[in-house]
Amino acid sequence: MSKFDLKIYPMGGVAEIGSNMTIFEFEEHLVAIDYGILFPYEDFFDINYLIVDTTALKKISKPITLFITHGHEDHIGAVVHFIKEFPQAKIYAPRLARELILSKLDRANLGHEIIEYNKEFKLDFGEYTLRPTHVTHSIPDTYGVIINKGQELAFLFISDFKFDLIPSFEEPFDVENIKTYFSAAKRKIAFLDSTNILSEGKTLSESELLGDFEEILLRNKRTFFTLFASNIYRVKNLLEIAKKANRKVCFIGRSLNFYLDAADKVGLLSKANYPIVELDAIDNYDDPRLLYLVTGSQGEHLGATRRIANGDQKNIKLKEDDIFVFSSKAIPGNEKKIYRLINTISETGTTVITSKDQRVHASGHPAREDLKQLVSEINPTDIVPIHGETYFLRKHIDFIKDNFPKIQTHYMTNFDTMLIKGSEINIVDGKQMEPLIIHGDSIVIPREKISERRKMACNGLITIAINHKSKNIHVDSKGLPEELTRYHNEIKELAHYTAFQEFKNRDYDYVVEKIRIKIRTFAKEQLGYKPITLVSMV
Ligand SMILES: [Zn+2]
């Protein structure tokens, strides 16, 4: 008899936002729900993303299945890494996420079968059955997961969802399915999204934006909408309105075409049905009938929104008659960058509209009233808050205690483990594992290299190459003020004196280190800080 029937442990996405991965470890099988990326905080100098380290999973000799809930990057972004680590794994994904994963594999030159599932699908793991359940979110084709052991025990795992009962173009959040497979069990444990736990009231439905979208597009002014390209149904709504209003639509930013092509391929929309024009094919860029859909709503450095705001987008200059709509919300940490953009755009006289002015954005996550309604309907015995930072998880627990005192709440963070035996549950603390740091496409960068990168970027670089035989010295510097070049001769003299007079009989390594220290000290006197200094002697 084993010590547990089932173990559940989040490895990412709990007590942080991003790099989602939660493991359901059955007696003979591992199921990973999602494997996404996390965009790093600023102190991880210019790193592309972080992913969960799966070394511990590789030590467990059970077959592994990856079950993808939806196509957001924080849920699918690391699938390529997963396939490299677990080439035998079975991977399941709904149609849009599957299409997005396939194009990632294509780019990585990697082949792997991604099995499509829909709401009728199920998988058996011993006594347990896993079923996807349709939820609404900010990308089409999003699912939660229900796992039951007959009528005795059931789990509901929905990390990303909004409780939208009147969405655009898709079925409403499927409460009935959850009632059938989850609520009927004796003990039922729900893992629920905490992202918007600080928001009072209800999250707007995607369809509730239509009125303001129409009103804005009927003003007949050249209009820019910046939004997340993955929000296919919002784009589809805008395309529909533009078509009715006899306006042409142009996409600026690669990811819009990327997501729309994937959506087109799986039948979520047909680009050919809409008056879409290519940027290069426009003859009058100032045409007030033009609607530009633009990426880079987070103020990304090379994003289209920033390019347009700064006047760096070819043929497009913002002017007084334009409207610029931020159909998006700041991801925590990006607020400053976005405010700066809004200011830059305002300087041109363009009218800026954000979700503070009009209904131009609806979140993809449930606010307090949504959670209250959902919890009342599905009636869990236990709730575990997930998808949110520590403060959000605690707030979620307080919220449940206040509103549903009979429900047991459980606080878990990444690497804590819920052990299930019969219908008893126990949570044990786990050992935190640092995520892997990825720069470029897929190479892991060791943690200690980050501070070296930061120093190089912030303090600049001086290189000194010394030819021992000819006594020639070459000095170069990068990322330093022009003034420093005035001192290149002095640096040369200092290196020359140190190498060929002061320490002329010492070995190379000793001399090189002495020169390095002297040059850094010299540079500090001129600049006030010490650049990275590389000395080589041949
Ligand atoms: Zn999501």
Domain spans in the chain, listed from the N-terminal domain onward: 6-201+363-444, 206-353, 460-537
- Cα 269 to ligand 1 centre (Å): 20
Q: Does residue 238 sit in helix, strand or coil?
A: helix
CATH number of 6-201+363-444: 3.60.15.10
- Cα 352 to ligand 1 centre (Å): 27
Q: Does residue 64 sit in helix, strand or coil?
A: strand
Q: Does residue 462 sit in helix, strand or coil?
A: strand
Tell me the DSSP string of 345-359.
HHHTTPEEE-TTTSS
- Cα 140 to ligand 1 centre (Å): 10
- Cα 509 to ligand 1 centre (Å): 54
Q: What strand order describes the sheet that includes 153-158?
A: 123-125, 128-135, 142-149, 153-158, 187-193, 382-386, 408-409
- Cα 160 to ligand 1 centre (Å): 5
Specify the CATH number for 460-537; select among 3.40.50.300, 3.30.465.10, 3.10.20.580, 3.40.50.2300: 3.10.20.580
- Cα 139 to ligand 1 centre (Å): 7
- Cα 75 to ligand 1 centre (Å): 7
Q: Residue 209 has which token pair?
A: 């934006």
Q: Residue 80 has which token pair?
A: 């390529």
- Cα 52 to ligand 1 centre (Å): 17
- Cα 263 to ligand 1 centre (Å): 16
- Cα 45 to ligand 1 centre (Å): 25
Q: Give pLDDT, residue 468.
A: 86
**Angstrom distance (rounded) from CA 164 to CA 172:** 6
- Cα 44 to ligand 1 centre (Å): 23
Q: Give pLDDT, residue 185.
A: 96
- Cα 435 to ligand 1 centre (Å): 20
- Confirm if 317 and 309 have CB atoms less than 8 A apart: no
- Cα 525 to ligand 1 centre (Å): 51
- Confirm if 96 and 140 have CB atoms less than 8 A apart: yes
**Angstrom distance (rounded) from CA 393 to CA 8:** 17
Q: Give pLDDT, residue 482.
A: 81
- Cα 135 to ligand 1 centre (Å): 11
CA–CA distances in Å: residue 200 to residues 8, 15, 64, 330 = 30, 21, 40, 18
- Cα 424 to ligand 1 centre (Å): 31
- Cα 493 to ligand 1 centre (Å): 59
Q: Which residues of the chain have pLDDT under 50?
A: 1
Q: Give pLDDT, residue 311.
A: 95
- Cα 12 to ligand 1 centre (Å): 14
**Residues 106, 112, 118, 122, Cα dihedral to 10°:** -160
Q: Does residue 141 sit in helix, strand or coil?
A: coil
- Cα 299 to ligand 1 centre (Å): 20
- Cα 18 to ligand 1 centre (Å): 9
CATH number of 206-353: 3.40.50.10710
- Cα 526 to ligand 1 centre (Å): 50
Q: Give pLDDT, residue 1.
A: 42
**Angstrom distance (rounded) from CA 274 to CA 342:** 29
Q: Give pLDDT, residue 408.
A: 97
- Cα 470 to ligand 1 centre (Å): 63
